[in-house]
Amino acid sequence: MNEQTELISLQDLHGPDPVPDLARADRIVFSGSGGKDSAAALSAAVRAADAAGVRDRMVALHIDLGRTPRGHTVEWPGTADLAQEQADLYGVPFAVRRSAKWPSLLHRIKARGQFPNLFNRYCTAEKRAVSHRFITEQVNELAITDRPARIVLILGLRAQESRSRAGKPAVETDQRASNSRRTVTLWYPVLRWSTVEVWQRIRDEGLPYHWAYDQGMTRLSCSLCVLASIPDLTCAARLRPELAREYADLETEMGAPFRRELPMAEVIRRTGRAA
């Protein structure tokens, strides 16, 4: 497994973050990516749910990003199975959902004619839409009529991953997902954790993790994420050359680069393969 050198978490510096009142939640939805932060967040969420006596109200959701026009998974192979294995370890019911409109994220990119970027993260919006539909399913199942259903949505975001995440509170109301039928509270249980703490929890709990970490990846989202570091992109293109080739060919077809300063053809070149 790949570990960084952060030894002190933001939690050590700022104290413990608040935890939502899980005992009042009608449904606790854990959104699991299968990545290391997600695994640690699941462990933390289960511990908190057990303390509140409400683990039976938890359900795990994995959003599958589909298969490309050439049949490659946008996510790392085996990610959905891993997310289920992690949920099964805690006895949490597991569900997979996909976009109702697009066979894969790459189909969406092709239709739009450009890749997502830091200022236009429509890929995240697509995942959010799938999550909101799943929450609607849960609210319908609860069939609460005299008040809005209380939903807690758990995500494995960490402050050290980006500046935008560093500015988030650990608990906040999701205004976009809330409406007259439900109030949705977002909870990021490992927001202030360091990378070392994440891997320590994975070891302590014996949690399964994805093989890509042992091959050099530091994060696990889309195999080829527009926001990934150059070392991660190079590693991913080396491990998944056919998917990288498909992205490079799509660049040529659309006349739009994967990243303005870093086309996929250049990423492939850095792996030592012909672009």
Among 37-46, 81-90, 217-226, which stretch is predicted with the lowest mean pLDDT? 217-226
Model's pTM, two decimal places? Answer: 0.91
Decide which of 175, 195, 215 is a domain's last residue: 195
Residue 200 within a domain:
no
Is residue 37 located within the same domain as residue 146? Answer: yes
* Domain match, 15 and 140 both: yes
Per-residue model confidence (pLDDT) at position 15: 63
* Distance (Å) of CA 172 to CA 17, 20, 55, 175, 183: 12, 9, 21, 9, 11
- Kindly state whether residue 38 falls inside one of the protein's structural domains: yes
The 10s digit of each residue's pLDDT in 242-251 is: 999 999 999 9
pLDDT class of 2 with cuts at 50, 70, 90: very low
Arithmetic mean of pLDDT over the chain: 93
Same domain, 157 and 112: yes
Is the backbone of residue 168 left (phi > 0), alpha (psi -120 to 50) or beta? beta
Q: Are residues 242 and 139 in the same domain?
A: no
Asked whether residue 7 carries a pLDDT value surpassing 50, the answer given is no
Q: Which of 195, 212, 237 is the last residue of a domain?
A: 195
Please tell me whether residues 153 and 261 are part of one structural domain: no
Pairing of strands 171-173, 182-187: antiparallel
Confidence category of residue 9, pLDDT binned at 50, 70, 90 = low
Share of the chain above pLDDT 70, in %: 93
**Three-state secondary structure call for residue 43:** helix
**pLDDT tens digits for range 226-240:** 999 999 999 999 999
Q: Helix, strand, coil shares of the chain as percentages rounded to 5?
A: 45, 15, 40
The domain in which residue 249 lies consists of 224-270
The pLDDT of residue 118 is 84
Same-domain check for residues 191 and 231: no
pLDDT(40) > 80: yes
Q: Do residue 26 and residue 157 come from a single domain?
A: yes
Q: Looking at residues 136-150, what average pLDDT do you find?
A: 98
**265 falls within a domain:** yes
Q: How far is CA 235 from CA 96, 114, 212, 219, in A?
A: 27, 23, 9, 11
92 and 33 together in one domain: yes
pLDDT band of 157, cuts 50, 70, 90 = very high
One domain for residues 61 and 189: yes
Integer Cα distance of 236 and 223 in angstroms: 6
Q: What pLDDT was estimated at residue 150?
A: 98
Distance CA 195, CA 215 (A): 17
The answer to whether residue 258 sits within a structural domain is yes
Q: Which of the four pLDDT bands, split at 50, 70 and 90, describes residue 4?
A: very low
User: Does a structural domain hold residue 181?
Assistant: yes
Give the pLDDT score at 1: 53
Same domain, 190 and 229: no
Number of domain units in the chain: 2
Token pair of 77 as six digits: 């192979």
Judge whether residue 263 has pLDDT over 80: yes
Is the pLDDT at 11 greater than 80? The verdict is no
Domain boundary among 174, 195, 216: 195
d(CA 2, CA 214): 6
Tell me: do 75 and 175 sit in the same domain: yes
H/E element holding 149? strand 149-154
Q: Within a domain: residue 206?
A: no
Domain for residue 208, yes or no?
A: no
Q: Is residue 93 part of a domain?
A: yes
Stated as kind and residue range, the H or E segment containing 62 is strand 58-63
Of 209, 235, 216, whose CA–CA distance to 224 is shortest? Answer: 235
The total number of residues shown for the chain amounts to 275
107 and 234 share one domain: no
Handedness of CA 202, 45, 221, 87 (dihedral sign): positive
Q: How far apart are CA 210 and CA 139, in angstroms?
A: 32
